[in-house]
Amino acid sequence: MRRIGFVLNPIAGMGGRVGLKGTDGKLKEARERGAEPRAPERAVTALEALRERLSDAEILTCGDPMGASEVREAGFSPEVVYEPEGETTAEDTREAVRRFVERGVDLILFVGGDGTATDVAETVAEASSETPILGVPAGVKVYSSVFGVTPQDAGRIAAAFDVTESREVSDIDEGAYRAGEVRTSLRAVVNVPVAEELQSSKQLGGGTVEGLTAGFVAGVEPGTTYVFAPGSTVGAIEDALGIEGSPLGVDVWRAVPESEREPRADPDGERAERGEVLVRDGSEAEILAALGDRNVIVVSPIGGQGFVFGRGNQQLSPAVIDRCEIEVVASRSKLDDIGVLRVDTGDPDLDEELRGWTRVRVGRVERRMLQIV
């Protein structure tokens, strides 16, 4: 019988769809913006996948809101080894992990993002334990290589793994991230189950994007509303269009006919604005309100991972995606590195609909077929 310690960060990911790029220190603001918890639902999905393959697993967990109800909803009868009091904090996660290690669990399964991964990994290291850990992706930032690709994958891995390997846990400075700068730091090295469904670490490498940028700009259609996802490749397109975008946020821009363009404030005074920025660094609600008759999401996969939706761009929710066409752009070197594309929108039906072969713009006119898995 496999003994698993399960801990849920109930606020993980709440800042994503409301445009906060994280929840650390922003919980009150996220709630004021109408954010709703997403981690509990993803927890149940992972646990149900676990139970389908390992129904006799022994689950140790925390009292609500850190896991007990979700474990029961998935069909298990958990042993509660820690009861949080009041608003949960990182220290509650760390104390839960200490209890799991003391009880000799075979795996610590956690639900959250890189901040939660750091809390779990550092606590395991402080205890001089080799207990493996595995993450159910639920945070806004999911850079570390300790997460399943999807909640279902995490559940399946937890049920079936028999080998572990050392992997890195990284976290980023959320303040710098909100200001448009990615500052990553290695926080721990931990044992993680070996599985194909485990995501790679976030890589920041890339290649030239001048060609694909020129090709995209040349094909911009007046009257179309473009939703620009985060990332440097998409940012290059925004720069070419004269848009002062948000590097790590989602911007909405509508192209206008040449006859309606206003002169730009360029020194030469000869160029004209090609469109209008409707939303800068928008939340899900702001993006939805700005959409028009024809809408196109412009998105580039995350280097090293291949995610198109579900990592760092939760503002592009299922409701937004349903109203848009999708234009994937990437350098050849990035595609060679990732091999396939991935999605984790939080809506399994939409994920399934998106899977299959898709065209990715890699140059001025060149496209490359890549599979979304």
Report strand pairing: 184-193 vs 164-172: antiparallel
Report strand pairing: 356-361 vs 367-372: antiparallel
**Better-predicted residue by pLDDT, 320 or 357:** 320
Position 367 pLDDT exceeds 80: yes
> Number of C-alpha atoms within 13 angstroms, CB side, residue 255?
19
Q: Per mean pLDDT, which range of 163-167, 233-237, 335-339, 343-347 is the poorest?
A: 335-339
Residues 200-208, mean pLDDT to the nearest whole number: 48
Residues 247-269, mean pLDDT to the nearest whole number: 71
**Better-predicted residue by pLDDT, 270 or 147:** 147
Report residue 307's pLDDT band, with 50, 70 and 90 as the boundaries: very high
Count of CB atoms situated within 10 Å of the CB of 85: 7
Position 342 pLDDT exceeds 90: yes
Domains of the chain (ranges; CATH) run: 3-193 (3.40.50), 210-372 (no CATH)
Write down the pLDDT at residue 295: 97
pLDDT one-digit tens code per residue, 103-157: 999 999 999 988 899 999 999 999 999 999 999 998 776 778 899 999 999 999 9
Residues 218-237, mean pLDDT to the nearest whole number: 94
The full DSSP string for 48-93 is HHHHHH-TT-EEEEESTTSBHHHHHHTT--PEEEE---SS--HHHH
pLDDT one-digit tens code per residue, 345-359: 999 999 999 999 898
- CA neighbor of 62 nearest in space, from 15, 115, 9: 9
Write down the pLDDT at residue 255: 92
Count of CB atoms situated within 10 Å of the CB of 74: 21
pTM (2 decimals)?
Answer: 0.65
Position 27 pLDDT exceeds 70: no
Share above pLDDT 70 across residues of the chain, in percent, rounded to a whole number: 82
